Structure 1
Amino acid sequence: MTAIKFAPRRSEERGHADHGWLKTFHTFSFAMYQDNKHEQFGPLRVINEDRVAPRTGFGTHSHREFEIFSYVVSGELEHKDSMGNTEILKRGSLQMTSAGTGISHSEKAHGSKSVHFLQIWSLPHTPRLQPKYFTREFTDAEKKDNWLRIVAPVGGEGVSMDREAPGPAPVHSALSLYATIISEGSTLEKGIEGKKGYVHVVQTSKYNPGKAEGASVKIRGGGEELVLREGDGVYMDIQTHGQKLVVENVGSGTAEVLLFDIE
């Protein structure tokens, strides 16, 4: 038995929709895309990779009982919500909304350029929480060839409940999120603490609904090995505690990679 089981989630197999103003991919069932093989993974419920055209976006709509975070890849994202928060989020920004008993918000591309961001939802371990809003800022330099923890469970070491603070954003779910920008030819190692993991390679080079292209990384762990391109992901079932994941940039240029460590 291998210590880690890999199950690839290829970019071209994701749910996909082109609405003109919105070009989007869905890792999990969402909106018109429904696939009972990809409903959720532990508390992880949504990974949408969205590109929104200039001066358009998601009008005011409501959520409850989700932890919702946005990871901005390029452009500027304008956020407004029923808690009175108004903010322009840029490259490196991470916005976390703990929807709890219910919030309304809007998300639009600010300015003359489109915005590319990942919208991620997880299920909280506690129902009917009081809604909260958090923002964090992380530079490319902090992520370069380093696993930077950008989301972590409430109560964890270095996790602040302040609206703005250094360190990871707090989440009421049993997961941590790490981000890295791996240089060409570089290799990173990361110990996995949870029982599950998910890796996603951000589709940074261009919008591509076909077979994945762009940056290329090889991941190894527990006797398994797999090559991922931009937009690809992989489910990881950790069979033996204390496993290490190795990620190697085997393509040209940098690769932006997200790692969910799920308890």
Structure 2
Amino acid sequence: MNAYLHRSENRGHVKAGWLNTYHSFSFGSWYNPKYMGFGPLRVINDDTIAANNGFGTHPHDNMEILTYVTDGRLTHRDSMGNEEYIHAGEWQLMSAGTGVAHSEINNTDEAVHLFQIWIQPNIRDAEPTYQQIKLNPHDEPNKWHLIVGPNDNAPMFIRQNAEVKAAVLEEGKTLDIATTQKHNYVHVVKGQIMIENQIVKAGDALLFDEKTSIKALEDSEMIWFDLPA
């Protein structure tokens, strides 16, 4: 099996007042030519937004933008007319298509922790769409939960031949990864796991190309990206 470990300490780290963020791939003011994405996966930002702050209205186009809130509550507004709360354990997929402007604000008195993920679409200039689900992997541990996929059996539809799954794995438990495509990327949200005799801790990710299995060295949470080449 070909595998590569992307260590947490090799991520970009930007702390700018209200925002404390770690970039798995080059983003904004942080640039590293070694980390420009993986297949169509372009961004994984691990963001903590301070109380009563956030991202003001700004535009995007031709990007599939997936947001996962792990702690707190975020308020989303966009030019499609959506105004929604995203609570801990909820996921939002905004397909920017021909263009959409949006804001993500923490209008509470507590910090919000979230992951913002960008995946490049395989269809350009489509009509923008908005989807949101509650699917907290903590509610049913020790199994993969499909979050987004390219067809109608997925909870949310993405404009790419890709699947995103999430799991919470209890200490000592194992979980198989049955790869279907060339590029696979598992990002550890919390805890510590072992894949192919490599210890992968929170903030780390493993890139690989064959079926494998995970063992939790402690209670852990992870996101798996099953991606085309």
**TM-score, normalised with respect to structure 2:** 0.96
1:7 and 1:140 map into 2 onto residues whose CA distance is 26
SS of the residue aligned with 2:2?
Answer: strand
The residue aligned with 1:158 is: 153
1:191 and 1:33 map into 2 onto residues whose CA distance is 34
2:54 and 2:156 map into 1 onto residues whose CA distance is 24
The residue aligned with 1:37 is: 34
The residue aligned with 2:205 is: 233
Structure 2 residues without counterparts, runs of 5 or longer: none
1:111 aligns with 2:108: yes
1:190 aligns with 2:177: yes
Cα shift at 1:139: 2.9
1:141 and 1:32 map into 2 onto residues whose CA distance is 34
Cα shift at 1:174: 2.0
* TM-superposition CA deviations, 1:78-124 (whole Å, max 9, x none): 10000010111111111000000100000011311111000000111
1:173-212 pair list within 5 angstroms: 173-202=160-189, 204=190
- Selected match of 1:260 from 222, 225, 228: 225
* TM-superposition CA deviations, 1:107-165 (whole Å, max 9, x none): 01131111100000011101101000000111345541001111111xx2513xxxxxx
* TM-superposition CA deviations, 1:159-204 (whole Å, max 9, x none): 3xxxxxxxx21110121011001111111112000101001001x4
Cα shift at 1:244: 2.0
1:143 and 1:108 map into 2 onto residues whose CA distance is 29
1:47 aligns with 2:44: yes
Structure 1 residues without counterparts, runs of 5 or longer: 160-167, 205-214
Aligned length: 228
The residue aligned with 1:66 is: 63
SS of the residue aligned with 2:9?
Answer: helix
**Residues 137 and 166, structure 2, Cα contact 8 Å, conserved in 1:** no
**Residues 93 and 138, structure 1, Cα contact 8 Å, conserved in 2:** yes
Backbone CA RMSD of aligned residues = 1.2
**Residues 88 and 110, structure 1, Cα contact 8 Å, conserved in 2:** no
1:250 aligns with 2:214: no
Richer in strand (by share): 2
Opposite residue 26 of structure 2, the aligned amino acid is S
- Selected match of 1:22 from 8, 12, 19: 19
Cα shift at 1:234: 1.6
1:143 and 1:197 map into 2 onto residues whose CA distance is 23
**Residues 151 and 171, structure 1, Cα contact 8 Å, conserved in 2:** yes
Q: Which runs of 4+ in 1 moved over 2 A?
A: 139-143
Opposite residue 58 of structure 1, the aligned amino acid is F
**Residues 186 and 249, structure 1, Cα contact 8 Å, conserved in 2:** yes
Opposite residue 95 of structure 2, the aligned amino acid is S
SS of the residue aligned with 1:12?
Answer: helix
1:121 aligns with 2:127: no
Cα shift at 1:258: 0.6
The residue aligned with 1:217 is: 193
